[in-house]
């Protein structure tokens, strides 16, 4: 059917009803998005400038930069920024490198690959809370299996979850484990998009597999790697849920493990300082935005 027929049938009868029809289909969706996504985006910006904002009554003392000044001067927020940056700086590169290696192996066509894929992807679908509790038990100083395994190599008992200097590493190890499946999946689908002829040509020329990996696989995978870096930087900047099972809902054993989202939660839900929580959320968003833009620019330079 052509464009002519399209017109004929679309506007055949009662044009007003016809014009309203799309709205009827869209109404539930648009209403939900307006109330629970669009309005909150605008509101969080405004709330971040309202000093002494009180919930439900909506009353506030004055408009200004007071919330931002408070948050940026709060040592717990600074500590949250430091912890989150360190978490991102370790988890993102580590999971990226590991996932490239693993995806490269999972991409081979050998028997039993479905089984391996199931194993590697399992952590992605399981509850952070439940898996976190298993890790909590494994990290236990006195009865933990991780300390047992380390003892085979002569390492003494580490107090993973109660010693402030180790707690971030426990969170990082758990973080890498839980983000790996998703990262491997993206890498694997990137690998499967590389044209087979490149490999055939390289093999005909007698290239060794190490050379093929670094000269073909990695460069051809660059767009996927860029995507993974961006997505994982964003998601690891928001590390939050993982803290609850590991540290009983507190930010680390001695309030040393605030993350930015935990700080937002703390200001919002524990202290009921909604304006400050909104300001912290805005700062987080701006940081994520800037880092993402930087990554895009660097990636564009790199691929040229």
Partner 1 sequence: MTAKEFAGQREGLARAHRLRAGLARAGLYVFLALGAGVMLFPFFWMFSSAFKTAQEVATFPPRWLPASLSLRNFAIAFEKAPFAVYFFNSVVITTASVVGTGLVTILASFAFSRLKFKGRDLVFTLLLALMMIPFEMLVITNYETIAAWKLIDTRTALVLPFLGSIFYTYILRNFFISIPDGLYWSARVDGASNWKYLWKVMVPIAKPALTTIILLNAIASWNSFMWPMLVINSTPRRTLPLGLYTFMTEGGMHFELLMAASTVVVLPIIVLFLFARKQIVGGVARGGLKG
Which residues in the 238-267 window bind partner 1 by CB under 8 A? Answer: 238, 240-241, 244-245, 248-249, 261, 264
Between 37 and 197, CB nearer to partner 1: 37
Quick note: the x/- pattern for partner 1 over 109-148, rule CB under 8 A, is -x-x-x-xxxxxxxxxxxxxxxx-xxx-xx-x-xxxx-xx
Candidate list 77, 87, 182, 258; residue touching partner 1; CB under 8 A: 182
> What residues numbered 187-206 form the site for partner 1, per CB under 8 A?
188-189
Cα atoms found within 13 Å of the Cα of residue 301, Cβ hemisphere only: 6
Between 208 and 304, CB nearer to partner 1: 208
> What residues numbered 60-89 form the site for partner 1, per CB under 8 A?
none
Number of neighbouring beta carbons within 10 Å of residue 20: 10
Q: How far apart are the first and last CA of the chain?
A: 44
Candidate list 36, 73, 154, 304; residue touching partner 1; CB under 8 A: 36
Residue 304 CB, nearest distance to partner 1 (Å)?
25
Identify whether the C-beta of residue 235 lies closer than 8 Å to the C-beta of residue 80.
no
Identify whether the C-beta of residue 256 lies closer than 8 Å to the C-beta of residue 184.
no
Quick note: the x/- pattern for partner 1 over 216-235, rule CB under 8 A, is ---------------x--xx
Distance of alpha carbon 278 from the chain centroid: 20
Identify whether the C-beta of residue 45 lies closer than 8 Å to the C-beta of residue 65.
no
CA distance 170 to 271: 27
Which among 162-170, 182-190, 213-221, 294-302 is the span making contact with partner 1, rule CB under 8 A? 182-190
Candidate list 14, 28, 197, 210; residue touching partner 1; CB under 8 A: 28
CA distance 232 to 272: 30
């Amino acid at each position: 059917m052509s464009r002519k027929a399209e017109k004929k049938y679309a506007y055949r009868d009662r044009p007003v009803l016809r014009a309203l029809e799309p709205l009827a289909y869209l109404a539930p969706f648009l209403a939900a998005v307006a109330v629970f996504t669009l309005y909150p985006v605008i509101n969080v910006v405004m709330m971040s400038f309202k000093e002494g904002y009180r919930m439900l009554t909506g009353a506030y003392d004055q408009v200004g930069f007071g919330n931002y000044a408070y948050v940026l001067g709060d040592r717990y927020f600074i500590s949250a920024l430091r912890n989150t940056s360190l978490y991102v700086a370790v988890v993102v590169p580590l999971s990226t490198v590991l996932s490239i290696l693993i995806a490269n192996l999972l991409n081979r066509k050998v028997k039993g690959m479905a089984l391996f894929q199931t194993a590697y992807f399992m952590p992605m679908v399981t509850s952070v809370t439940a898996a976190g509790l298993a890790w909590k038990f494994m990290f236990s100083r006195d009865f933990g299996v991780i300390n047992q395994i380390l003892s085979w190599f002569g390492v003494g008992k580490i107090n993973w979850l109660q010693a402030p200097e180790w707690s971030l590493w426990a969170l990082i190890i758990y973080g890498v484990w839980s983000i790996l499946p998703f990262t491997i999946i993206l890498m694997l689908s990137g690998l499967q998009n590389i044209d087979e002829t490149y490999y055939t040509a390289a093999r005909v020329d007698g290239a060794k597999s190490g050379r093929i990996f670094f000269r073909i696989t990695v460069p051809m995978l660059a767009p996927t790697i860029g995507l993974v870096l961006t997505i994982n930087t964003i998601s690891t900047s928001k590390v939050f849920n993982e803290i609850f099972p590991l540290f009983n809902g507190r930010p680390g054993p001695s309030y040393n493990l605030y993350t930015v989202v935990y700080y937002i939660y703390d200001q919002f839900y524990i202290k009921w300082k909604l304006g400050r929580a909104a300001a912290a959320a805005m700062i987080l968003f701006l940081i994520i935005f800037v880092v993402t833009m930087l990554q895009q620019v660097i990636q564009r330079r790199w691929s040229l």
